Structure 1
Amino acid sequence: MVPHLVTALNGPINELEARILESMPAIERWFRLEWMEHTPPFYSSVDVRNAGFKLAPVDTNLYPGGWNNLTPEMLPLAVQAAMAAIEKICPEAKNLLLIPEKHTRNPFYLLNVARLQEIFTLAGLNVRLGTLDPAIDKPTPVALPDGSELLMEPLVRTQRRLGLKGFDPCTILLNNDLSAGIPGMLEDLHEQYLLPPLHAGWAVRRKTNHFQSYEEVAKKFAKLLGMDPWLINPMYTQCGKVNFGEGDGIECIKSNAEALIAKIRRKYKEYGINEKPFVIVKADNGTYGMGIMTVRDPKELDELNRRTRNKMSVVKDGQEVSEVIIQEGVPTYERMNDAVAEPVVYMMDRYVVGGFYRVHADRGIDENLNAPGAQFVPLAFAESHHLPRVGAKPGQSAPNRFYMYGVIARLAMLAASYELEATDPDAEVYD
């Protein structure tokens, strides 16, 4: 099932699609050369927005938690990608320890953990689940909505290694984004591979670093295709000292939002786009769709009500928001049964393995869709008939659109690899 795109068929996106398809060999070679120089994140997911005049990533998750939303058809590709990823890191790997989020009551998240366990089991590993939840002090079965269950076990830490009772893993895979901080139990593990690395967690990571890296990637890619990088890159700025509860830093957000909206307006004029520009203000280290608001007019920031202030004050695990990224708003004109939709692309290692549409009937084209009430409609990017159809008219072929989404998502994944290299605390610094 493919949403329809509520935009004119002669818009800039169709020109971009045509250019991407005709440049496909050059694009794939460019990616190959980049991956010779850079290490992809172990796994990732990217939220993409298609405005018809612009196609851009708006968020990149390095601890994707929606593997259950992908179709069974994508499983073989995910397993192959998992094998490739593990072979590069620890070819002799036998045991994999998977550490999920602590909030194990969310049934959909638990189905995601079960799917990850299945993928890595099929990739030839013994997979067991260790929890950071101190309340679990013995192996504890957790029921799943489909009638099956997961076995959560308490972690066992020795001086240099982390495992479970009677289980010593070569590789530890985090599906916990460390929003609440880095547990001491995960530090100083010099004999095991911890994936993703600790500095990929939200205790350290910042969205502004990511989009700075993405801007660099977008410029390189745009040069390859001879196009304006703005067509695939959301502009942004940031405010570093904010307290929504006290009202501190609101003036910084307001002035930056005004300046960014003016820049967007100039771009719209350049391309003849008859739209009202807006920005998205979000926590610089936020996740789960928390700490996000749409600003259509900076004057709105003078009138923030208590509910909005409270919503913006804290993100996951009760972490206070003190830094925000102000990002160019990219409207989405994808529709599914008249509800607003956006594609989310899932990747393992450097491969696109699947994706789904996030659909929200109660949200507008300029709002965050990652909110309660969202539905997920899977699509399998990996099916053979979803390979791009060369020669199809732009805007007419779902496989071509999926290929284009995969290209944009891989650009964001490459940006994440630049970002992790730049922020690696163990990297050697050369003058």
Structure 2
Amino acid sequence: MVPHLITALTGPTNELEQRVLDSMPAIERWFRLEWMEHTPPFYTAVDIRNSGFKLAPVDTNLYPRGWNNLTPEMLPLAVQAAMAAIEKICPEAKNLLIVPENHSRNTFYLSNVLQLKRIFHMAGLNVRIGSISPDIKKPTTIELPTGETVVLEPVVRSKRRLGLKDFDPCTILMNNDLTAGAPGILEDLHEQYLLPPLHAGWSVRRKSRHFRSYEEVAKRFGKLLGIDPWLITPMFNRCGEVDFTQEQGMECMRTNVDALLAKIRKKYKEYGINEKPFVIVKADNGTDGMGIMTVRDVKDLDHLKQKTVNNKDGQQVTDVIIQEGVLTAERMNEAVAEPVVYMMDRYVVGGFYRVHAERGIDENLNAPGASFVPLAFAESTRLPQPGQKPGASAPNRFYMYGVIGRLAMLSASYELEATDPDAETYD
């Protein structure tokens, strides 16, 4: 059974929660059958928005970097999931190498790497951290605000394997999303498992492809539950070959923003929703919430004219996804919040609220100034409680979040299968 998160429960509720709880046996069986056919990503984090009338994922990260936000109570679940994942991939594994992001001196980020090291150490592996950054030329010890330390060591590439000076790992865990592309040092490895695979990096991944996969999964899931898939799906359009500095591709943007706002208005009317529709314009690849803009009217796009929008590695954004905006009704100490669900292999292992006191209910919260409130797990006896009034039980609400997170994770499985360079279906 999926673990259940508990925290102060706020925000409006709807019939969706009741439908999900009533269908729990069918849902779990459906997921089991899917995982028999498809391999889950090694680890996944999903940003979810709950508007009260709609519950949908808005981003899926295959290199999650907030493991330090999980509480100690969540660690046993993460360790069990890590054991299951490693057992499937490399049961004889004894050494694991973690490869972090190149901006490796960010202590908050390194706390996340240390937490990953802790999880896999407790799963029974020797774990070391190997940097591919050209700045790391010798073992480098960095002290964290907690008083703990992280040792970054320069990786060593032999003809066919990647490791450290005196450390030969069976498995290499990437916590680097490869936005700038996959360096040659990671290619053509012999008898080593690279997790996730190179084509999971942002040099290949596209959010539009992911949400196309999600649409397919949500349609089938909606049929299983007898619900409109729109209730759990953000609609989207895409524009490529955009250059804001030259105003190239702006007509594509205007047309697609206008069309998407019209579709959202139609859905709002169908459900009697008295809110102003909006869309989010963001880079089709990359993370960190960079270059994200809330658009309520086509005229808002004029603010993007002659601007240079870059991703976190300084590359100019030329492909954008225009995504249906989903309001968030979640609050934490009066600040706007959204849940983030963390998974390893096919298991939900924890999560946290991303909270931003200076952002509105229709804005991106993954921005400077955000804080993180970990969600503690319920006692093992606190399973979902069918029969309770919707919204009355935190485990029920978070079971539902876990279902949405797993739908996004399953969509990522489909997406990775479609982009596997060794598969004939690559598109």
Structure 2 gaps of 5+ residues are: 1-5
The one-letter code matched in structure 2 to 1:405 is: Y
Q: In the TM superposition, what is the alpha-carbon distance from 1:346 to its structure 2 partner? A: 0.2
1:187 and 1:93 mapped to 2: Cα distance?
20
RMSD over equivalenced CA pairs, Å: 1.3
Q: Deviations over 1:275-299 (max 9, x none)?
A: 1000000000020111111001111
Which residue number corresponds to residue 214 of structure 1? 214
Cα displacement string for residues 3-58 of structure 1 (whole angstroms, at most 9, x for unaligned residues): 55343xxxxx5211001001101100000000000000000000000000000000
Measured in 1, the distance between the counterparts of 2:374 and 2:72 equals: 10
Whole-Å separation in 1 of the counterparts to 2:248 and 2:11:
40
Contact 1:50/1:331 (8 A) holds in 2: yes
* Gap change, CA 1:86 and 1:281, over 3 Å in 2: same
- The aligned runs of 1:45-60 (5 Å cut-off) are 45-60=45-60
Structure 2 CA distance for aligned equivalents of residues 205 and 335 of structure 1: 32
SS in 1 for 2:88: helix
SS of 2:86's equivalent in the other structure is: helix
How far does residue 106 in structure 1 lie from its aligned partner after superposition? 1.4
Counterpart of 2:363 in structure 1: which amino acid?
A: E
Measure the CA separation in 1 of the matches of 2:328 and 2:269. 19
Question: Residue 415 of structure 1: which of 411, 416, 419 is its match?
Answer: 411
2:10 to 5, 10, 18: 5
Q: CA deviation at 1:385?
A: 5.0
Render the CA deviation track for 1:358-385: whole Å, top value 9, x for unaligned: 0101000000000111110111346425
Mapped to 2, the partners of 1:357 and 1:106 lie a distance apart of 21
Paired position in structure 1 for 2:126: 126
Deviation at 1:389, TM superposition (A): 1.3
Task: Mark the CA change 1:258 to 1:385 in structure 2 (over 3 Å): closer, same or farther.
Answer: farther
**CA distance in 1 between partners of 2:180 and 2:325 (Å):** 28
Q: Which residue does 2:368 correspond to in 1?
A: 372
- Note closer, same or farther for the CA distance 1:126–1:218 as it changes in structure 2 (3 Å cut): same
Question: Which residue does 2:314 correspond to in 1?
Answer: 318
| Among 389, 393, 396, the residue aligned to 1:397 | 393
d(CA) in 2 for partners of 1:110, 1:383: 30
Count of matched residue positions in the alignment of Structure 1 and Structure 2: 421
**Structure 1, gaps ≥5 residues long:** 8-12
TM-score (norm. length: structure 2):
0.96
Instruction: Find the partner of 2:359 among 354, 359, 363.
Output: 363
Correspondence for 2:421: 425
Check if 1:39 corresponds to 2:39.
yes
**Distance in 2 separating the partners of 1:268 and 1:190:** 53
Q: Distance in 2 between matches of 1:121 and 1:224?
A: 40
Preserved contact between residue 170 and residue 193 of structure 1 (Cα < 8 Å):
yes
CA distance in 1, matches of 2:390, 2:105: 44
**SS at 1:320 equivalent:** coil
Verify the 8 A CA contact 1:3 1:335 in the aligned structure 2: no
Tell me what 2:249 maps to: 249
What corresponds to 1:113 in structure 2? 113
Matched residues in 2 for 1:424 and 1:365: separation? 37
Aligned counterparts of 1:429 and 1:363: Cα–Cα separation in 2: 41
Query: Match of 2:7, as an amino acid?
Result: V
Match of 2:135 in 1: 135
Hey, what's the Cα distance between the residues in 2 that align with 1:429 and 1:297? 38
The CA deviation at 1:159 is 1.3
Partner of 2:177: 177
In the other structure, the counterpart of 1:237 is: 237
Stretch moving more, 408-417 or 332-341: 332-341
Q: Please give the alpha-carbon distance, in whole angstroms, between the structure 2 residues aligned to 1:379 and 1:387.
A: 16
Q: What does 1:161-310 align with in structure 2 at a 5 Å threshold?
A: 161-304=161-304, 309-310=307-308
Counterpart amino acid of 1:336? Answer: M
Q: Secondary structure at the match of 1:384?
A: coil
Deviations 1:380-401 (A, max 9, x none): 3464255211211101111100
Distance 1:128 1:101 in 2: 14
Cα 1:366–1:429 change in 2 (3 A) is closer
On the 8 A contact 2:170/2:192 being kept in 1, the answer is yes
Please report the TM-score for the alignment, with normalisation by the length of structure 1.
Answer: 0.95
User: Following the alignment from structure 1 to structure 2, what is the Cα–Cα distance between the partners of residues 245 and 101?
Assistant: 29
Alpha-carbon offset, residue 105 of structure 1: 2.0
Cα separation, 1, equivalents of 2:370 and 2:379: 25
CA contact (8 A) 2:356 2:371 kept: yes
SS at match of 1:318: coil
The answer for the alignment partner of 1:328 in structure 2 is: 324
